[in-house]
Amino acid sequence: MNHPKFTTYKHPLKLSGKEMIERAEKFTELIEERRSVRTFSSKAVPVDLIKCCIKAAGASPSGANMQPWYFVVVSDSELKKKIRDAAEAEEHEFYHGKAPAEWLDALAPLGTDESKPFLETAPYLIVIFEKRYVETASREIIKYYYTKESVGIATGILITALHNSGLSTLTHTPSPMNFLNTILNRPHNEKPFLILVAGYADEDTKVPDIKRKELEEIATFI
């Protein structure tokens, strides 16, 4: 057994109570303005911005610190087209037979259908993979823990980091998504988690008029 090694930790911020609340309110105001968008501008986004936000996502907590995430940043038009074609084929199945009526009813306010032009318009498709285990050189399988939870948290931080830098995103999950392993040449131990479409929201972007739940509906203080 390896003995754990510890180093001193101090939170980087040292704020007064007033500063803390001001900072929290400012952040909440900003993140409350986050919306998923389905129309993107093709305006270029510097790849360094995406790299920086992925670094932020890589600082997420994870089960046994296994960091079970992998990000493939797709900007190549041919690859984006391949992903769009494969995703639209799955979505066609979904909207024309696979999805139960209740699911289609729940989606109706969003106005979605099988057409996914944003998969080609947006400058980046960040394909997020969940590593469920790794195989060592000696073919030993090392299991990772809480991979879905960990990758979900990392995705949340990535969405937040992108929004914080002025970009919009869409979490997109055509199902099944195994075509992503083929197109992006990723190994079997990686399961596609979602496609995070990222770029500037188009000037004429419209979003459904939906409301967020009130604090009282989502939290209890006991």
Cβ–Cβ < 8 Å for 69, 129: yes
Q: Name the residue number minimizing CB distance to ligand IYR.
A: 112
Residue 88 neighbours by CB under 8 Å, 6+ apart: 114, 115, 116, 119
Kindly state whether residue 173 participates in binding ligand IYR, applying the rule CB under 6 A: yes
Kindly state whether residue 44 participates in binding ligand IYR, applying the rule CB under 6 A: no
What is the contact mask toward ligand IYR in residues 131 to 160, using x (rule: CB under 6 A)?
A: ------------------------------
Per DSSP, the residues of 182-206 read HHHT--TTEEEEEEEEEEPBPTT--
Query: Which of 63/88 has CB closer to ligand IYR?
Result: 88
CA–CA gap between residue 171 and residue 38 (Å, rounded)? 10
CB of 2 to ligand IYR, least distance (A): 42
31 closest CA partner among 135, 156, 129: 156
Pairing of strands 124-131, 69-74: antiparallel
CB of 110 to ligand IYR, least distance (A): 6
CB of 19 to ligand IYR, least distance (A): 37
CA–CA gap between residue 111 and residue 30 (Å, rounded)? 26
Report how many residues bind ligand IYR under the rule CB under 6 A: 8
Query: Which of 28/175 has CB closer to ligand IYR?
Result: 175
What is the contact mask toward ligand IYR in residues 101 to 120, using x (rule: CB under 6 A)?
A: ------x--x-x--------
CA–CA gap between residue 142 and residue 125 (Å, rounded)? 29
Kindly state whether residue 164 participates in binding ligand IYR, applying the rule CB under 6 A: no
Q: Which residues bind ligand IYR (CB under 6 A)?
A: 91, 94, 107, 110, 112, 172-174
